[in-house]
Amino acid sequence: MARLGKAHTPAKTAGEILHRAARIEDSFHSWRERRGRKRGLITTLIPYSSYGATDWARVLCRVVLTRGTETSKKRAEKVRGWRSFFSIPVNDEVVTVTIGGKAVKLTPGRGGVIDEQVDVALAPGWQTATLESASSDATTAHIFVVDPKASFGIISDVDDTVMVTALPRPLLAAWNTFVLDEHARRPVPGMAVLYDRLARANPLAPVVYLSTGAWNVAPTLTRFLRRNLYPRGAMLLTDWGPTHDRWFRSGAEHKRASLHRLASEFPTIKWLLVGDDGQHDEEIYGDFAASHPDNVAAVAIRQLSTGEAVLAGGRSKMAERELESSVPWRFAPDGASLAVELRELGLIND
pLDDT, tens digit, 9 for 90 and up, residues 21-33: 555 555 655 656 5
First to last CA, the chain: 49
Region of residue 16 (phi > 0: left; psi between -120 and 50: alpha; otherwise: beta): beta
Q: Is-contact 259 306, C-beta < 8 A? A: no
Question: What is the pLDDT, as a whole number, of residue 198?
Answer: 97
- The residue type of 187 is P
pLDDT-derived band of residue 5, with 50, 70 and 90 as boundaries?
very low
Question: What is the pLDDT, as a whole number, of residue 25?
Answer: 56
User: Is residue 217 domain-shared with residue 81, that is, in the same domain?
Assistant: no
Examine residue 269 and state whether it is found in any structural domain, yes or no: yes
Residue 208 neighbours by CB under 8 Å, 6+ apart: 51, 153, 154, 155, 156, 233, 234, 236, 262
User: Is residue 141 domain-shared with residue 175, that is, in the same domain?
Assistant: no
User: Is residue 141 domain-shared with residue 199, that is, in the same domain?
Assistant: no
What CA–CA distances, in Å, run from 201 to 97, 324, 339?
A: 34, 29, 12
- Asked which of 130, 145, 160 is the last residue of a domain, the reply is 145
What CA–CA distances, in Å, run from 283 to 78, 213, 256, 276, 328?
A: 36, 18, 10, 11, 15
**Residue 96: is it exposed, middle or buried by C-beta count within 10 angstroms (0-12/13-18/19+)?**
middle
Structural domain that includes position 32: 4-145
pLDDT-derived band of residue 183, with 50, 70 and 90 as boundaries?
low
As a whole number of angstroms, the distance between CA 137 and CA 120 comes to 23
User: Is residue 175 domain-shared with residue 140, that is, in the same domain?
Assistant: no
pLDDT-derived band of residue 244, with 50, 70 and 90 as boundaries?
very low
User: Is residue 130 domain-shared with residue 232, that is, in the same domain?
Assistant: no
Checking if the pLDDT of 172 tops 90, the result is no
User: Is residue 338 domain-shared with residue 235, that is, in the same domain?
Assistant: yes
pLDDT-derived band of residue 35, with 50, 70 and 90 as boundaries?
low
Region of residue 15 (phi > 0: left; psi between -120 and 50: alpha; otherwise: beta): left
Q: How many CA atoms lie within 13 A of 208 on its CB side?
A: 27
Of the candidate ranges 33-42, 102-111, 242-251, 335-344, the one whose mean pLDDT is the lowest: 242-251
User: Is residue 159 domain-shared with residue 271, that is, in the same domain?
Assistant: yes
- Asked which of 89, 116, 145 is the last residue of a domain, the reply is 145
Q: Kindly report the CA angle at 228 between 225 and 229, in degrees rounded to 5? A: 85
State the CB neighbour count (10 A cutoff) for residue 306.
9
Examine residue 46 and state whether it is found in any structural domain, yes or no: yes
User: Is residue 240 domain-shared with residue 127, that is, in the same domain?
Assistant: no
- HEC string for 208-222: EEEEEEEHHHHHHHH
- Asked which of 145, 167, 191 is the last residue of a domain, the reply is 145
Checking if the pLDDT of 93 tops 80, the result is yes
How many helices, marked H, and strands, marked E, lie in the chain? Answer: 11, 18
pTM, two decimal places = 0.83
Q: Is-contact 148 255, C-beta < 8 A? A: no
As a whole number of angstroms, the distance between CA 278 and CA 305 comes to 10
Question: What is the pLDDT, as a whole number, of residue 186?
Answer: 84
User: Is residue 141 domain-shared with residue 158, that is, in the same domain?
Assistant: no
pLDDT-derived band of residue 207, with 50, 70 and 90 as boundaries?
very high
Question: What is the pLDDT, as a whole number, of residue 47?
Answer: 95
Residue 102 neighbours by CB under 8 Å, 6+ apart: 2, 118, 120
